[in-house]
Structure 1
Amino acid sequence: MGHDTAGRADDHDSPWKEALEVFLPQCLALFAPTLHASIDWARPPEFLDKELQALAGPRRLAPGSPDGQDPAPDQGRLRALPGPLSPGRLYTDKLILVRCRDGRFARLLIHVEVQGGTSGPKSRRLFARRMYQYRYRLEDRYGGSGNHALYSLGILTASRGGDSHLVHHDEFLGQGVRFTFPVVHMAQWLDRWDALEALAPSNPFAVVVMAQLTALRFRRKAARLDPKVDLMRRLAGYGYARGDIDALARLVDWMIALPEALEPDYMRALEALEQEHAMTYITTPERVGLRRGRVEGQAELLLRLLARRFGAIPDTATERVRAATAEQLETWSLNFVDATTLDEVFGA
């Protein structure tokens, strides 16, 4: 598959939340096999979303934010927000309670960085610090020994490789902390695509990875039609259970977004696959609902960014953003990166 470098931002945060909830065992089997083997999967995992929100606390600006402030970790939200210095970067966190084979319970913190590009040393240092912040708050609330273990796992979607573990350390005059945790460099599978395809028939999460990497390889949405159809054709032939097929079709559609002009071509390709494999994929009304949900999410994110940089937004501008098409929102989001006035965002 070829590369396409003209990038636009995609909304991957919500699909990753769903992917981890639906395919957690398969995710860990692929990315953390030792951890997977230690878990008693006879007891369903419990997703602790409310506990995670309570740990995060009030919103904070990420380091390097426009106002130059970097609040102390105890005063702010741990999950950094996408901003003008990191367009296209989103974060997904899941806190999960599992029972281990030795009878202990463990809380797993999985943090996915959905990156718009490769991550440099500074980004990884900030990533390691965020993981440490989560860790010490979890230890403070639940403890990290005895019958309640803690485990942290980081996933970097656009990283092609690096150390198997990242380290956060903060030392002064021989005193300090050092926190080490495993990290998955997901884009390394770009160089192991054949191996990923070989795993896909037995591990549905491999399809999730293929969808994310396809969006990464083909950043210009107009070039994604054929790769997306090819992935759906493979999915149809894997023999998954109906529920897994439905979930994966939804995730593929969400991760590999197409321009609206190509939607009719994609629907015709799906209809051909339906006839060939005697199955029904996502219907047109459901697809319209998903697309509308993505557009609404993009609009609300842009409004939050505009309010953060320019203050109160006029009602006319708010209505304009909420009524915009996906293409208009993408154009304005790109304009926002360098804009110094609200008019510049809208190209005025």
Structure 2
Amino acid sequence: MTLRNPSRSAPPPKQDGSASDDFDSPWKQGLELYFAQAVELLAPSLYRIIDWQVPVVFLDKELQAIDIPGKKHRRIVDKLAQVRLRDGSDAWLLVHVEIERHLKGAQAIKAFAWRMYEYRFRIQSRIMVQRQQDQLPRIYSLGVLLESQGVGKELIHTDEYLGQGVQFRFPVVELESWRSRWDELETLAPSNPFAVLIMAQLRANQYPNKRTRLGPKLQLVRQLRQYGYPPHIAVQVYRLVEWVVTLEKDQEPEFVRAVQALSKENEMSYVTLIERAGRDKGFAEGQIEGQIEGKIQGSVEGQAKLLLRLIQRRFGPTTDDVAQRIQAATAAQLETWSLNFVDATELDDVFRD
């Protein structure tokens, strides 16, 4: 099978047909696993002012307690995270992902802007009451549209009457805007696994008919080997691809055979987590269900950087000694430590033999 590099030619028109895809779950997991990397790609100016040495605190319970009119039957993913800024102050990030394939018409766009405003207002009110603050907390709202195009990079919610009213302006990321930047995504992917989730979503958008996805999906899997991820990162990223770019049931055996052939072709094994039961139940960070056959070869330097970033995210800032130990490690040591990280409850657990 010959696979064309999508960065070398214009994407083919979307295929006829439709697929019932679960984009909610993989996007929720992707944001939880790679929140900093997501912010780096989707809101780079924001990324630069956050102190990523301080662990991010997700406030899912607080967000779930906020009743937003009209939310019940909408397909959305929301993440509310408390972060520390470089100036030492706290801020809250609301990442709101609309799973709708399209925002059709001016009324739908207007309703989306209103929902973003409604979330912001209710979150600010709740935080003020809970923490007994007398000033509005700082909140950065980011809207992400998976497939809609032409909405723009910014939306404004306006509510005015007789000279009174409010105006709320917030940034919007149209994921389709990354399609023309595919080469950039491939360049970023070795150091930013979230780029692969964007690539997978673009492929799912482009081929809404599941039966047309086998070739594009195999190409994404083939590319994973080039990125040099440690085994547990490779597992997580592979499963996100599996979750987003779904196939028809009768195509899955062919896909499994093709992945196995890729393994033999490169004299090493890909991550072959084809175990659907574990995927359907969901997975949390650090949970690996399935098999890892052989070793995933890649850049030692890249593996060291990813492991250090994960350690800092879970356990907080590290000492120079820890950083130097990781940077000086062999490929075998990094693989062992990366697997140890999965179940580690304290830093020492990572470095056990």
Alpha-carbon offset, residue 193 of structure 1: 2.2
Cα contact 2:15–2:206 (8 A) shared by 1 = yes
Matches of 2:77 and 2:84, distance apart in 1: 23
Question: Which of residues 124, 133, 144 is equivalent to 1:155?
Answer: 144
Matches of 1:22 and 1:160, distance apart in 2: 27
Q: Which amino acid aligns with 1:253?
A: E
Task: Say yes or no: does 1:223 pair with 2:208.
Answer: no
- Find the counterpart in structure 2 of residue 112 from structure 1: 97
Alpha-carbon offset, residue 204 of structure 1: 1.3
Question: Which of residues 112, 116, 120 is equivalent to 1:135?
Answer: 120
Q: Which amino acid aligns with 1:5?
A: D
Q: Which amino acid aligns with 2:244?
A: M
CA change 1:147–1:105 in 2 (3 A) is farther
CA change 1:260–1:155 in 2 (3 A) is same
Aligned residue pairs: how many? 267
| Per-residue Cα deviation, 1:69-113 (whole angstroms, up to 9, x for no partner) | xxxxxxxxxx3524xxxxxxx211111111111111111110001
| Per-residue Cα deviation, 1:229-288 (whole angstroms, up to 9, x for no partner) | 00011012111222221111111000011001000011112212334263452434x224
Alignment of structure 1 residues 178-189 onto 2, 5 Å = 178-189=167-178
TM-score by length of 1: 0.71
Task: Say yes or no: does 1:195 pair with 2:184.
Answer: yes
Alpha-carbon offset, residue 190 of structure 1: 1.9
Q: Which amino acid aligns with 1:209?
A: I
CA change 1:39–1:255 in 2 (3 A) is same
Q: What RMSD over aligned residues (CA atoms) do the two structures have, in Å?
A: 2.2
Alpha-carbon offset, residue 115 of structure 1: 2.4
- Find the counterpart in structure 2 of residue 331 from structure 1: none
Cα contact 1:236–1:277 (8 A) shared by 2 = no
Matches of 1:145 and 1:39, distance apart in 2: 24
Question: Which of residues 89, 106, 119 is equivalent to 1:121?
Answer: 106
Task: Say yes or no: does 1:49 pair with 2:60.
Answer: yes
Give unpaired runs (5+ residues) of structure 2: 1-10, 283-353
Question: Which of residues 14, 22, 25 is equivalent to 1:14?
Answer: 25
- Find the counterpart in structure 1 of residue 271 from structure 2: 281
Matches of 1:205 and 1:283, distance apart in 2: 19
TM-score by length of 2: 0.71
Cα contact 1:20–1:27 (8 A) shared by 2 = yes
Matches of 2:18 and 2:267, distance apart in 1: 34
Question: Which of residues 84, 87, 105 is equivalent to 1:99?
Answer: 84
Cα contact 1:106–1:150 (8 A) shared by 2 = yes
- Find the counterpart in structure 2 of residue 81 from structure 1: 73
- Find the counterpart in structure 1 of residue 224 from structure 2: 235
- Find the counterpart in structure 1 of residue 198 from structure 2: 209
Matches of 1:163 and 1:283, distance apart in 2: 38
Matches of 1:211 and 1:140, distance apart in 2: 37
Q: Which amino acid aligns with 1:132?
A: Y
Give the secondary structure class of the aligned counterpart of 2:48: helix
CA change 1:167–1:248 in 2 (3 A) is same
Alpha-carbon offset, residue 118 of structure 1: 5.2
Matches of 1:280 and 1:142, distance apart in 2: 45
Cα contact 2:92–2:137 (8 A) shared by 1 = yes
% identical aligned pairs: 44
Alignment of structure 1 residues 20-59 onto 2, 5 Å = 20-56=31-67
Alignment of structure 1 residues 262-341 onto 2, 5 Å = 262-275=251-264, 276=266, 278-284=268-274, 286-291=275-280
| Per-residue Cα deviation, 1:136-169 (whole angstroms, up to 9, x for no partner) | 1112122498694211110011123443211111
Task: Say yes or no: does 1:250 pair with 2:239.
Answer: yes
Alpha-carbon offset, residue 119 of structure 1: 4.0
Cα contact 1:152–1:181 (8 A) shared by 2 = yes
CA change 1:213–1:102 in 2 (3 A) is same
Cα contact 2:155–2:169 (8 A) shared by 1 = yes
Q: Which amino acid aligns with 1:283?
A: L
Cα contact 1:47–1:97 (8 A) shared by 2 = yes
Q: Which amino acid aligns with 2:51?
A: D
Alpha-carbon offset, residue 201 of structure 1: 2.7
